[in-house]
A and B are shown apart, each in its own frame.
Chain A
Amino acid sequence: MTSDSISTYGGDLAAAVDPDGDETSRGRPAQRGTVDTVENAIAHPDVAQPWRELGLKEDEYHRVREILGRRPTSCELAMYSVMWSEHCSYKSSKVHLRQFGEQTTPQMGQRLLVGIGENAGVVDVGDGWAVTFKIESHNHPSYVEPYQGAATGVGGIVRDIMAMGARPIAVMDSLRFGALDHPDTRRVLPGVVAGIGGYGNCLGLPNIGGEVVFDPCYQGNPLVNALCVGKLRHDDIQRANASGEGNLVVMFGARTGGDGIGGASILASESFAEGGVAKRPSVQVGDPFQEKVLIECCLELFAARVLVGLQDFGAAGLSCALSELASNGDGGMLAHLDRVPLRDPSLRPEEILMSESQERMMAVVRPDDLATFLTVTTKWDVEATVVGEVTGTGRLVVLWHGETVVDVPPRTVAHEGPVYQRPFARPHGQDAIRSELPDRLARPVTGDELRATLVALAGSANLCSRAWITDQYDRYVQGNTALAQPDDAGVVRIDEKTGLGVALATDCNGRYCLLDPYVGAQLALAEAYRNVATVGATPLAVTDCLNFGSPEDPGVMWQFERAVSGLAEGCRALGIPVTGGNVSFYNQTGSVAIHPTPVVGVLGLLDDVTRRTPSGWREAGLALLLLGVTREELGGSEWAWVTHRHLGGRPPAVDLAAEQRLAAGLGEAARVGLLAAAHDLSEGGLAQTLVEGCLRYGMGASVDLRPLCARDGVSPFVALFAESTARVIVAVRPADEARVTDLFAAHGTVAVRLGTTGGAALEVAGEFSVPLPELQAVLAAPLPAAFGG
C-alpha cells in the first residue's frame, strides 16, 4: 500500500459507503453528511468494504459482521481492523504466551502487585515501594524513519509506565542493526541513536544501558526495543478501566493529528514489500517537551487522587484507548468523537479513531473531581477535554456530531479478537546448521596468534566500545544513577533515604537462538540474570520483547514456540516471573527472517545501591578470580563469527541451577563488601572480559591461564575464547581471597585464581601482553570510523 492510499483511505471509505457511489464524492474532503452511521449500515447492508486493505482476513471480516449482526460502519471497521492486527491483538502469539502465566508459581508471584495483561507489570520492592518496567518494540517505524521511529518508541514505553501510576526513572534500549560496514546501517543507526537521545534526553530520564548488536540478518529489519522503568508507592497503582456510571472520560495532552494513521495495522503487521520506504507518512512524530510536561502533570494528578482510570495512547490510538478502558470497566462508554481536539480539522472520524498522534492520555474522572483535574492540567498548560462518559449500557457508543458511528460490545474489539493456532514445524535447514560444528575451524595456538585474535575480537563490530552511541544519551539526570553502561547492568536509586534501588540488564544473542531457539532464549535469560547479579542485585522479575519473522511461516512459528517455552520454563527454574512484554512479528524481508531475537530484560533489587559492584578494577594488587567452569563451547561464538564468518553447531549449554548458585554468591559477597569489581563472561569469552575490566578504569592485569587450563582440561585458546555460561570474574583484596573462595564454594561455585591487577598492560603469562593504550585505541575506533566523529 502506498502512502497515497493510506492518506486517502478515509475518502475511499466514505465513497465505499456512499449509497450512490458516484465519482464526485471520491477523493474529496468528505462532508459531515457522508459519514457512515449505524443507521446507514443497517439501511445499506451490502456495500463493499475495504477490509482487505485494512489488513483484515475474510473470515475476520465475517466475524465482525456476526458480532454486530450487520455490516460494520466505516468507523467500526477501522477500529476492528486496527485492534485485531497482529500488533494489537497478539492473535498468533497468544496461545504460546499463556505459558508465561502458567509457569508462574504462587511463590514466584508473591512480589507481583500487577501481572501480565496491564500496561506493565508492577513488582513489590519493599518499604512500600514498587517498580514497574516493560520493554517494547518500535522496529518497523525505525527502519522507515529512524529518528522519529526510535524517538516515539521511547515516548510510547514511557507512557505505558506512567499509565501504571509511576514516575519513570530510567530508560534502556536494545538495538539490532545490519552489518556495521553496510551503507544503510549508516542511514539507520545515527538516526535511531539521535532519536533515542533527542527524546529521552529531553524527558530527563537517564539512559542506563542496553545493547547494540550488528548482524547482516537485521539489514532490512533493524530492531529498536525500548525499556522504561518507573517507581511508585503501592497505593499509587493506576488501572486502565472505565468504571462508575456517569464518570467522565477526559482526553489530555497533545492534539490529534494525521500522523501514524494505520501505523499499527499496516506498518507493524506486514513485512516490507519492495519500495516499502514510501510508507514514510505513516510514522508518528514525537514532541518530547509535551511528554515531559505530561509526566509532571500526571504525577500531580496521581497525588491529587482524582483518577478513577488511566490509559495511555499507543498503537491504535483512540480505538485502543476507548475499547480497552470500556472493556476493562464494568459498564459501557459513550464518546463524542467531534469533541476530540484536532491539529488538523479535516480529519475524518475513521482517521481520528486510528490516529497514533503521540503524547496523549485518557483519564476517567468523577464529575466532582473534574475541577481539581482541570486545575492541575491548566497549571501545566496541558489541554484537557471531556470527550465522553461511562455508561451502564455495556456498549461502546461513539457519536459524530450526534450521529452514532460506532455501537459495539467493547470486549469484542479489545480482548476477544481472533486467536490463531498457527502451524509450526522445525525448519528443514535446522539439522544442517546444527551439524556445522566449529571444530574444523583453524584455531590460534601461539602467543602471537592468541594476541592477534584477542585484538581482532576487541575491535570487532559487536565487542568494540559503544561510547559513540551512549555518549549521546544523558546518564546523569535525576542524580540517582549508580551504574550505567559499560557496566554489566544499569543501577538506579529509588529511595534517597535508604539507598534502595534496582538494577536492569537486557540481553539476547540471536545467533545462539538461531542454532537452538529454546536454549537461546534461556541463554538470553541467563545472561541478563547474571548481569544483574554481577552488580550485586537480587534478580526479581523479567520483561521480554520477542522479535521474530513472519508467524505465517511454520519455521518461524517453530522458533517462536521453542523460544517462549524455553523462556517460560527458564523463568520457572530461576523463580522469577515474566511481568509483561511485547511481541514483534514480521521482522523479515521477502522470505528471509531475522535470527530469532527474544530480548530479555531482568530487574534486580539492591537494598543499598552504594554497595553495587562495578565492572572494572581501579586498584593495583587485587586478586582476580574466575568463578565457574570453562568448557570447549564455541558454537555461535564471537570468535567463530569474527575470524571465520562461521555460524553453526550448538550454543553453549545452559545451567540455570549454576546461574542461581553463582548469583546467590555474588549477592552475598557484594552485601558484605568483598568485591572490588565483578564482570560477567559472555560474547568473546574471558579475553573480552579481561579487556573490558582493564579498560573500565585504565588499570591493567597479569593473568596466568595454566591453573584454569589444568583444572578444566582446556587449551589456552578455549580458556580465552569459549563462551561457557555461569562464569564471572571478580577482583578482591588479597586478604579476602580465601574468604571469597570459601563463600563461593559454600554456594557450590568453583573459583580459580587467574592473577592480579596492576600495570599498564593486559599480560597473559607465557602467551602475550597488550598495552592498554593499544587496546583502548582498538576498542574505540570502529564506531567513530563508521559513523563519523
Chain B
Amino acid sequence: MRIGIVTFPGSLDDADAARAVRLAGGEAVPLWHGDESLHGVDAVVLPGGFSYGDYLRCGAIARFSPVMREVIRLAGPPEQATPGLPVLGICNGFQVLCESHLLPGALIRNDHRSFVCRDQRLRIDSVRTAWTRAYAAGEEIVVPLKNGEGGYVADTATLDRLEGSGRVVARYLEVNPNGSYRDIAGICNASGTVVGLMPHPEHAAEPLFGPDRDGRGGFDGTDGLRFFTSVLQGVLAA
C-alpha cells in the first residue's frame, strides 16, 4: 500500500507518479536520491525526467545513488525466479533500471534524432507482472509517450530470450516512435516484479488530464491507471 517515489535531482514526473499512486488508492512515499533506506515501502516507482541532467548517459549517474543501491539489493538479480521488491521504471526510470542491470538491454537516442511527445497506442503483451496484472492479455491502451532517448536495443539472443519467456510487457502499435527493436515499449525481469516502460502510464491516470486524441468516442484518457492498481492488488494479495 506504500509506494515509494524516488526523486533524483532532475526528476520531473515524480509528482505525477505520486498522484497516480494516490488515484489508484495507494499511499505515495517520497524517497530522496540520497536515502540509504527505502523506509519500508512495498514497491518503488522510478519516475521520468533527466536524473542528474542525464549527462554521461541517461540513468548512468542515478544508478550509483544511495537509494539505488538499496533498490538493487531488494529487487534481486534479474534472472532470479523468486520475486523481489516490485519496481516500475518509467522512461528515465527504465533507463536507470537498464544502467543498474536490473533489466537487460539499453535505451538509445530515438532513430529520428528528435524528442517526441505523442499519444501512443500500446498492446499489453504480458499480464504476469506485478504492474500489469489488472490488464487483459493483448489489451490495447493509449498513454502518452515523451522521450529523446527511448530506442530499446539489445542483442538478438537477449531479445529472443525476452520474447521466449514472455518478458516483453508492452509493444508499440501503429507507430514505432523511437526505433525500438521489435517495437518493444516495456520489459520485465524473470519474476515479473521489475518492469521498465518507456511510455508514461502516470500521465493517463486522471480523467481529462490524459490523452484525448483517440477519436473513438467515450475515451477518458485513464488507460495507464491500472499499472498502479495492479501493484496494489499484488501487495494486498501478498
B161 within 8 A of A: no
Q: Are A289 and B52 closer than 8 Å at their CB atoms?
A: yes
A198 within 8 A of B: yes
- Give the contacts of A211-229 with B (CB-CB under 8 A): none
Residue in B50, B54, B117, B148 whose beta carbon sits within 8 Å of that of A476 in the complex: B117
B9 within 8 A of A: yes
Decide yes or no: A471 and B16 within 8 Å by CB, A289-B53, A476-B146, A618-B217 being known contacts: no
Decide yes or no: A472 and B115 within 8 Å by CB, A289-B10, A477-B16 being known contacts: yes
CA distance A614 to B117 in the complex (A): 20
Binds B, one of A39-47, A78-86, A479-487, A751-759: A479-487
A642 within 8 A of B: no
CA distance A473 to B203 in the complex (A): 15
Residues in B neighbouring A610, C-beta threshold 8 A: 207-208
Closest to A475 in B: B117
Q: Are B15 and A697 closer than 8 Å at their CB atoms?
A: no
A293 within 8 A of B: yes
Residues in B neighbouring A471, C-beta threshold 8 A: 116-118
Q: Are A197 and B115 closer than 8 Å at their CB atoms?
A: yes
Q: Are A202 and B50 closer than 8 Å at their CB atoms?
A: yes
A474 within 8 A of B: yes
B19 within 8 A of A: yes
Q: Are B215 and A201 closer than 8 Å at their CB atoms?
A: no
Residues in A neighbouring B117, C-beta threshold 8 A: 470-476
CA distance A287 to B146 in the complex (A): 20
Q: Are A697 and B213 closer than 8 Å at their CB atoms?
A: yes
Residues in B neighbouring A496, C-beta threshold 8 A: 19
A334 within 8 A of B: no
Q: Are B215 and A698 closer than 8 Å at their CB atoms?
A: yes
B202 within 8 A of A: yes
Residue in B12, B208, B213 whose beta carbon sits within 8 Å of that of A292 in the complex: B12
CA distance A475 to B211 in the complex (A): 10
B212 to chain A, nearest CB (A): 8
CA distance A478 to B206 in the complex (A): 12
A494 within 8 A of B: no
Residues in B neighbouring A203, C-beta threshold 8 A: 12
Closest to B145 in A: A476
B interface residues, tally (CB under 8 Å): 35
A495 within 8 A of B: no
A774 within 8 A of B: no
- Give the contacts of A605-623 with B (CB-CB under 8 A): 609-610, 614, 618-619
B173 to chain A, nearest CB (A): 17
Residues in A neighbouring B146, C-beta threshold 8 A: 201, 474, 476-477
Q: Binary interface profile of A, 378-410, with partner B (CB < 8 Å = 1, else 0)?
A: 001100000000000000000000000000000
B80 within 8 A of A: no
Residues in A neighbouring B112, C-beta threshold 8 A: 789
B49 within 8 A of A: yes
Residue in B10, B15, B212 whose beta carbon sits within 8 Å of that of A478 in the complex: B15
Q: Are B215 and A697 closer than 8 Å at their CB atoms?
A: yes
B200 within 8 A of A: yes
A50 within 8 A of B: no
Residue in B16, B52, B115, B213 whose beta carbon sits within 8 Å of that of A479 in the complex: B16
CA distance A481 to B9 in the complex (A): 23
Residue in B49, B55, B114, B200 whose beta carbon sits within 8 Å of that of A204 in the complex: B49
B13 within 8 A of A: yes
Residues in B neighbouring A477, C-beta threshold 8 A: 12-13, 16, 48, 146, 203
A194 within 8 A of B: yes
Decide yes or no: A289 and B209 within 8 Å by CB, A472-B115, A477-B13, A619-B217 being known contacts: no
Q: Are A476 and B9 closer than 8 Å at their CB atoms?
A: no
Q: Are A481 and B209 closer than 8 Å at their CB atoms?
A: yes
Residues in A neighbouring B13, C-beta threshold 8 A: 204, 477
CA distance A618 to B208 in the complex (A): 14
A699 within 8 A of B: yes
A377 to chain B, nearest CB (A): 13
CA distance A619 to B215 in the complex (A): 9
Residues in B neighbouring A201, C-beta threshold 8 A: 115, 146, 148
CA distance A610 to B221 in the complex (A): 13
Closest to B217 in A: A618
Q: Are B217 and A293 closer than 8 Å at their CB atoms?
A: no
Of B16, B50, B202, B209, chain A has the most CB atoms within 10 Å of the CB of B209
Residue in A290, A470, A482, A789 whose beta carbon sits within 8 Å of that of B209 in the complex: A482
Decide yes or no: A293 and B9 within 8 Å by CB, A472-B114, A476-B117, A481-B209 being known contacts: yes
Closest to B207 in A: A610
Residues in B neighbouring A481, C-beta threshold 8 A: 209
Closest to A204 in B: B12
Q: Are B50 and A479 closer than 8 Å at their CB atoms?
A: no
Residues in B neighbouring A478, C-beta threshold 8 A: 15-16
Closest to A293 in B: B9
Q: Are A789 and B114 closer than 8 Å at their CB atoms?
A: yes
Closest to B19 in A: A479
CA distance A287 to B213 in the complex (A): 33
CA distance A472 to B114 in the complex (A): 7
Decide yes or no: A293 and B10 within 8 Å by CB, A204-B49, A699-B215 being known contacts: yes
B144 within 8 A of A: yes
Residues in B neighbouring A288, C-beta threshold 8 A: 50, 53
B10 to chain A, nearest CB (A): 5
CA distance A698 to B215 in the complex (A): 6
CA distance A201 to B50 in the complex (A): 9
Of B50, B116, B117, B203, chain A has the most CB atoms within 10 Å of the CB of B117
Q: Binary interface profile of A, 475-511, with partner B (CB < 8 Å = 1, else 0)?
A: 1111111100000000001001000000000000000
Residue in B48, B50, B118 whose beta carbon sits within 8 Å of that of A289 in the complex: B50
CA distance A257 to B114 in the complex (A): 29
Q: Binary interface profile of A, 449-488, with partner B (CB < 8 Å = 1, else 0)?
A: 0000000000000000000001111111111111000000
Residues in B neighbouring A482, C-beta threshold 8 A: 208-209
Of B48, B118, B146, chain A has the most CB atoms within 10 Å of the CB of B146
Q: Binary interface profile of B, 60-99, with partner A (CB < 8 Å = 1, else 0)?
A: 0000000000000000000000000000000000000000
Q: Are A289 and B9 closer than 8 Å at their CB atoms?
A: yes
Closest to A202 in B: B50
Q: Are A472 and B208 closer than 8 Å at their CB atoms?
A: no
- Give the contacts of B1-50 with A (CB-CB under 8 A): 9-10, 12-13, 15-16, 19, 48-50
CA distance A473 to B19 in the complex (A): 22
Closest to B206 in A: A479
CA distance A475 to B213 in the complex (A): 14
Closest to B13 in A: A477
Q: Are A292 and B10 closer than 8 Å at their CB atoms?
A: yes
A502 to chain B, nearest CB (A): 15
CA distance A292 to B11 in the complex (A): 9
Q: Are B16 and A289 closer than 8 Å at their CB atoms?
A: no
CA distance A742 to B206 in the complex (A): 35
Residues in A neighbouring B203, C-beta threshold 8 A: 476-477, 479
Residues in A neighbouring B50, C-beta threshold 8 A: 202, 288-289, 292
CA distance A699 to B219 in the complex (A): 14
Q: Binary interface profile of B, 163-186, with partner A (CB < 8 Å = 1, else 0)?
A: 000000000000000000000000
Residues in B neighbouring A789, C-beta threshold 8 A: 112, 114
Residues in A neighbouring B202, C-beta threshold 8 A: 479
A-B contact list, 5 entries, CB within 8 Å: A204-B12, A288-B50, A477-B16, A479-B16, A479-B19
Sorted nearest first, the 8 A-B pairs with minimum C-beta distance are: A289-B53, A204-B12, A698-B215, A479-B16, A476-B203, A476-B144, A474-B146, A697-B215
Q: 6 additional contacts, CB 8 Å, given A288-B50, A471-B117? A: A289-B10, A289-B50, A293-B10, A610-B208, A697-B212, A789-B114
